[in-house]
């Protein structure tokens, strides 16, 4: 067959495939074809009033994935999302949708819908009309609108709420209406900006599961924004960690947790002890006065590095058997484990252990080679990972500050 | 505790209540009293029957006010929408500019309009200088309508602007997000959500328009009368106080009924 004919045939097959699997909600296509890039952010920068909010953001988002932008309040997550949605224009760089530049395509012409942080339901319309909003704009026949709204309300478990006033619904219910409203026109991409931020913990967990389920069922690409690392890890296919307007790391939840690229990521995702170390040679690192076996390589001999050890990977042993020795300064019971703060040569480590130890006890600690993760030094080195000022209260204060943005 | 708070509340409200009784309730009672009595204070329906003679004036007044209110809406709504779309600082400047004419007394404003629209006035001098002929404005209904629109436009713009500027911007973005072009955002979201402001605006323009007498006297050039003029004329002469009161009463009822109907509209919108 001539190359041209082959190309043509390929194109036809692709069309047919798309028609079969993309024109309807379906998760079946996943196994058949490598996901394609649906959104690309290329070298995006954005300033507000002389403040650099985003600096050269490069991000590829693949079709049908659940991608989460994770970072502390003010790091530029919402701005990134708004650029994708078409509500902000980048100062520099391009936004691509399926390979085509869409910088100049207005929001209402993008096949991208948004679930807003504060729901933004139309108060003058009831639940049915809110959900039907985009279908009414498309001037679909009434019978089809009724059918699709019904299906959608079932999907978000709001059957029978059609005639209800949206302002009279609970937060969780409003949230579901917002999701139904955004999904009903079958967008290719759904943007969700801290959609669960206003819900209480229990409801939040339920909604997390439900959102994940809806994403699987519909096969729509989700770009999800949160500052809650637990939420990000449990829901996402891909996590994008952001800080200070820059992307720090892109990876699966496991990668991000096990192999953070710098002190910021290590500290932001879960608990971490981050200490200064020297890489002697491949697989050998010295920190806190002891040389450890490790699994990392590729650093210059004698290179200064940041060493991450997760609290749950540290074993408490007798002083004599320990690779390092320290004094316990506090012990908190956490249900499944004790949270133990140990002073090792002036640096406070956090250890999570199911064994109880006494405050002021001298203990030894043991660390397996694969529990040690080596990172290059970065601008964040030395800012994180010491638990000397740590207390639960401070942790909570920090969290509540980040909630209300 | 609860009781002292209640008493305190009453004490604070007292001047207001006194004011209301003296300047709202008492005049109202007088109006009703005069409506149903003759010059000697005996009960009569005559004043009500006399209203028939003024039916035509009523009609002209209502139609001119409706037209003026409608024009105010057509001009005022887009204006309010546009202003609300600017940065906060520019909004403040524009609203101040809009209100600036209101700092000038209504009479003076009307006089200056006369100076502009008069047969030998400013406008006609310009037209004359350009050899475009002359237009006769003073004494036409158009001039009166223009006067009403000019004088009362800010009352339409302000309440609508207030509501639109306080609209949750997220709602407008949500509308765009779901596929509304700019016009549809206005039509499907902004307009229904600002209905309260529209109703206030309509009321605040319609009520002064229908009761005005000065504008029609000056810009209407005395060629026709509005109901406000009629009332004013009745009260110039002691012997016609009672008819004047009757017309006033009907006017008040008319305005109250239209307010009630409008309120009904807004309540239905809201629920
Ligand atoms: N419209 C705006 N005007 C000025 N500054 C803004 C605007 N939007 C966002 N910012 C600033 O940009 C930074 C990033 O904001 P945002 O993207 O909302 O962060 P996040 O969603 O991660 O909390 C913040 O410092 C915020 O104050
Ligand atoms: Mg945000």
CA of A232 to the centre of ligand 2 (A): 15
At residue B268, the pLDDT reads: 61
State which residue of chain A sits closest to B268, comparing Cα positions: A124
Among the ranges given (B6-10, B79-83, B186-190), the one the predictor scored with the smallest mean pLDDT: B6-10
A-chain CB neighbours of B184 within 8 Å are 137
CA of B189 to the centre of ligand 2 (A): 24
Question: What's the CA gap between A361 and A329, in Å, rounded?
Answer: 8
Is the predicted pLDDT of residue B14 greater than 90, yes or no?
Answer: no
At residue A129, the pLDDT reads: 96
The distance of Cα B249 from the centroid of its chain, to the nearest Å, equals: 18
Contact: B176, A87; criterion CB under 8 Å: yes
At residue A25, the pLDDT reads: 40
At residue A112, the pLDDT reads: 96
Contact B214, B110 (CB under 8 A): yes
Contact A112, A187 (CB under 8 A): yes
Nearest CB to A185 within list B171, B179, B180: B179
At residue A394, the pLDDT reads: 47
Give whole-number Cα distances, B48 to A1, A129, B38, B243, in Å.
99, 50, 11, 8
Nearest to A290 by CA among A321, A331, A312, A256: A321
Q: What's the whole-number mean pLDDT along residues B227-232? A: 89
pLDDT tens digits along A384-404: 878 876 655 445 444 444 433
Contact A232, A215 (CB under 8 A): no
> Ligand 1 pocket: which of A47, A53, A402 to mutate (most atoms <8 Å of CB)?
A53
Question: What's the CA gap between A21 and B161, in Å, rounded?
Answer: 48
Question: What's the CA gap between B116 and A114, in Å, rounded?
Answer: 54
Decide: A74 in ligand 1 pocket, CB within 6 A.
yes
Q: What is the DSSP letter of B237?
A: S
At residue A384, the pLDDT reads: 83
Q: Which ligand 1 atom is nearest residue A71's CA?
A: 22
Question: What's the CA gap between A116 and B57, in Å, rounded?
Answer: 55
> Ligand 1 pocket: which of A45, A46, A47, A48 to mutate (most atoms <8 Å of CB)?
A48
CA of B96 to the centre of ligand 2 (A): 34
> Beta A37-48 vs A51-62: how paired, if at all?
antiparallel
Residues of CATH 3.40.50.300 domain(s) within chain A? Answer: 36-257
Hey, what are B108's tokens? 């003076």
Is the predicted pLDDT of residue A17 greater than 60, yes or no?
Answer: no
At residue A52, the pLDDT reads: 94
At residue A16, the pLDDT reads: 46
**Burial status of residue B260 (CB atoms within 10 A of its CB: 0-12, 13-18, 19 or more):** exposed
CA of A82 to the centre of ligand 2 (A): 10
Is the predicted pLDDT of residue B120 greater than 50, yes or no?
Answer: yes
Decide: A403 in ligand 1 pocket, CB within 6 A.
no
Question: What's the CA gap between A183 and A23, in Å, rounded?
Answer: 14
Residues of CATH 2.40.50.140 domain(s) within chain A? Answer: 267-404
Report the phi/psi class of residue A189: left, alpha or beta, with left for phi > 0 and alpha for psi in -120 to 50.
beta
A187: pLDDT confidence band, cut at 50, 70 and 90? Answer: very high
Is the predicted pLDDT of residue A94 greater than 90, yes or no?
Answer: yes
Contact B179, A138 (CB under 8 A): yes
Contact: A138, B179; criterion CB under 8 Å: yes
3-state secondary structure of B168: coil
Q: What is the 3-state secondary structure (H, E, C) of chain A?
A: CCHHHHHHHHHHHHHHHHHHHHCCCCCHHHHCCCCCEEEEEEEEEEEECCEEEEEEEEEEEECCCEEEEECCCCCCHHHHHHHHHCCCCCCEEEEEECCEECCCCCHHHCCEEEECCCCCCCCCCEHHHHHHHHHHHCCCCHHHHHHHHHHHHHHCCCCCCCCCEHHHCCHHHHHHHHHHHHHCCCCCEEEEECCCCCCCHHHHHHHHHHHHHHHHHHCCEEEEEECCHHHHHHHCCEEEEEECCEEEEEECHHHHHHCCCCHHHHHHCCCCEEEEEEEEECCEEEECCEEEECCCCCCCCCEEEEEEECHHHEEEECCCCCCEEEEEEEEEECCCCEEEEEEECCEEEEEEECCCCCCCCEEEEEECHHHEEEEECCCCCCCCCCCCCCCHHHHHHHHHHHHCC
One of 3.40.50.20, 3.40.309.10, 3.20.20.70, 3.40.50.300 is the CATH number of A36-257, namely: 3.40.50.300
Contact B76, B156 (CB under 8 A): yes
Query: A79 in contact with B at a CB cutoff of 8 Å?
Result: no
State which residue of chain A sits closest to B173, comparing Cα positions: A87
The distance of B263 to chain A (nearest Cα, Å) reads 16
CA of A38 to the centre of ligand 2 (A): 23
Is the predicted pLDDT of residue A241 greater than 80, yes or no?
Answer: yes
> Ligand 1 pocket: which of A52, A74, A242 to mutate (most atoms <8 Å of CB)?
A74
At residue A34, the pLDDT reads: 64
State which residue of chain B sits closest to A122, comparing Cα positions: B171
Hey, what are A218's tokens? 């519909």
Contact B214, B73 (CB under 8 A): no
Give whole-number Cα distances, B19 to A98, B10, B22, B23, B24, in Å.
70, 14, 5, 6, 8
Nearest CB to A124 within list B173, B178, B193: B193
Q: Does the domain spanning A267-404 belong to CATH 2.40.50.140?
A: yes
Q: A with B: how many residue pairs have Cβ under 8 Å apart?
A: 62
Hey, what are A122's tokens? 């139309």
Question: What's the CA gap between A53 and B64, in Å, rounded?
Answer: 56
Is the predicted pLDDT of residue A21 greater than 50, yes or no?
Answer: no
User: pTM, whole model, 2 decimals?
Assistant: 0.80
Q: Which ligand 1 atom is nearest residue A245's CA?
A: 14
Instruction: Say what the alpha-carbon torsion angle B263, B267, B268, B271 is, to the nearest 10 degrees.
Output: 180
Question: What's the CA gap between A337 and A341, in Å, rounded?
Answer: 13
Contact: A116, B269; criterion CB under 8 Å: no
Nearest CB to A108 within list B168, B181, B269: B181
Q: What is the DSSP letter of B99?
A: H
At residue B267, the pLDDT reads: 66
Domain B54-270: what homologous superfamily?
A: MetI-like (1.10.3720.10)
What residues form DSSP beta bridges with A240?
A69, A250
pLDDT tens digits along A22-50: 433 433 334 444 679 999 999 999 999 99
B-chain CB neighbours of A85 within 8 Å are 177
Question: What's the CA gap between A275 and B246, in Å, rounded?
Answer: 92
Decide: A77 in ligand 1 pocket, CB within 6 A.
yes
Among the ranges given (A127-131, A222-226, A338-342, B124-128), the one the predictor scored with the smallest mean pLDDT: B124-128
pLDDT tens digits along B129-148: 888 888 888 888 999 999 99
Q: What is the DSSP letter of B25?
A: I
Query: A181 in contact with B at a CB cutoff of 8 Å?
Result: yes
Q: What's the whole-number mean pLDDT along residues A282-292? A: 94
């Amino acid at each position: 067959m001539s190359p041209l004919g082959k190309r043509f045939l390929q194109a036809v097959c692709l069309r047919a495939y798309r028609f079969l699997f993309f024109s309807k909600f379906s998760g079946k296509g996943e196994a058949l074809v490598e996901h394609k890039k649906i959104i690309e952010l290329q070298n995006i920068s954005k300033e507000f009033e002389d403040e650099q909010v985003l600096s050269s953001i490069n991000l590829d988002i693949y079709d049908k994935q659940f991608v989460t932008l994770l970072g502390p309040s003010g790091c530029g997550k919402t701005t990134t999302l708004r650029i994708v949605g078409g509500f902000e224009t980048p100062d520099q760089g391009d936004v691509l949708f399926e390979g085509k530049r869409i910088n100049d395509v207005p929001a209402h012409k993008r096949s991208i819908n948004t679930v807003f942080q504060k729901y933004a339901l139309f108060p003058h319309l009831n639940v049915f009309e809110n959900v039907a909003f985009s279908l009414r704009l498309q001037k679909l026949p009434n019978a089809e609108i009724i059918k699709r709204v019904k299906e959608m309300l079932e999907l978000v478990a709001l059957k029978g709420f059609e005639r209800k006033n949206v302002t009279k619904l609970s937060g969780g219910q409003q949230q579901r209406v917002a999701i139904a409203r955004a999904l009903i026109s079958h967008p290719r991409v759904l943007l969700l900006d801290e959609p669960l931020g206003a819900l209480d913990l229990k409801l939040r967990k339920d909604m997390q599961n439900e959102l994940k389920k809806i994403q699987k069922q519909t096969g729509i690409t989700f770009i999800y924004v949160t500052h809650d690392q637990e939420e990000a890890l449990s829901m996402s296919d891909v996590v994008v960690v952001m800080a200070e307007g820059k992307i720090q790391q892109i990876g699966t939840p496991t990668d991000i947790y096990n192999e953070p690229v710098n002190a910021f990521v290590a500290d932001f995702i879960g608990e971490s002890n981050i200490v200064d170390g020297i890489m002697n040679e491949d697989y050998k690192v010295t920190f806190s006065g002891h040389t450890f076996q490790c699994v990392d390589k590729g650093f210059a001999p004698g290179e200064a590095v940041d060493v991450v050890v997760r609290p749950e990977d540290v074993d408490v042993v007798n002083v004599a058997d320990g690779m390092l020795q320290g004094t316990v300064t506090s012990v908190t019971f956490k249900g499944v484990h004790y949270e133990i703060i140990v002073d090792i040569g002036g640096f406070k480590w956090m250890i999570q252990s199911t064994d109880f130890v006494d405050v002021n006890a001298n203990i030894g600690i043991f660390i397996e080679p694969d529990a040690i993760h080596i990172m290059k030094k970065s601008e964040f080195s030395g800012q994180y990972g010491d638990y000397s000022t740590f207390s639960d209260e401070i942790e909570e204060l920090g969290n509540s500050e980040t909630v209300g943005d | 505790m609860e009781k002292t708070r209640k008493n305190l509340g009453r004490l604070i409200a007292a001047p207001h209540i006194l004011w209301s009784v003296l300047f709202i309730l008492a005049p109202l009672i007088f109006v009703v009293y005069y409506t149903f009595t003759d010059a000697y204070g005996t009960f009569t329906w005559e004043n009500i029957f006399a209203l028939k003679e003024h039916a035509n004036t009523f009609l002209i007044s209502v139609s001119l006010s409706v037209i003026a209110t409608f024009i105010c809406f057509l001009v005022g709504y887009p204006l309010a929408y546009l202003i609300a779309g600017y940065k906060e600082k520019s909004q403040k400047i524009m609203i101040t500019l809009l209100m600036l004419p209101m700092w000038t007394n209504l009479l003076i404003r009307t006089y200056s309009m006369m100076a502009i629209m008069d047969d030998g006035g400013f406008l006609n001098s310009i037209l004359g200088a350009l050899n475009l002929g002359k237009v006769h404005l003073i004494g036409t209904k158009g001039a009166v309508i223009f006067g009403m629109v000019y004088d009362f436009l800010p009352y339409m713009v302000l309440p609508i602007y207030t509501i639109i500027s306080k609209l949750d911007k997220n709602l407008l973005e949500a509308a765009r997000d779901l596929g509304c072009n700019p016009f549809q955002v206005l039509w499907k979201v902004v307009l229904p959500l600002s209905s309260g402001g529209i109703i206030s605006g309509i009321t605040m323009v319609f009520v002064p328009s229908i009761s005005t007498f000065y504008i029609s006297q000056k810009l209407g050039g005395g060629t026709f009368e509005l109901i406000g003029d009629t009332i004013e004329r009745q009260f110039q002469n002691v012997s016609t106080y009672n008819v004047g009161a009757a017309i006033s009463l009907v006017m008040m009822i008319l305005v109250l009924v239209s307010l009630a109907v409008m309120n009904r509209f807004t309540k239905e919108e809201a629920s």
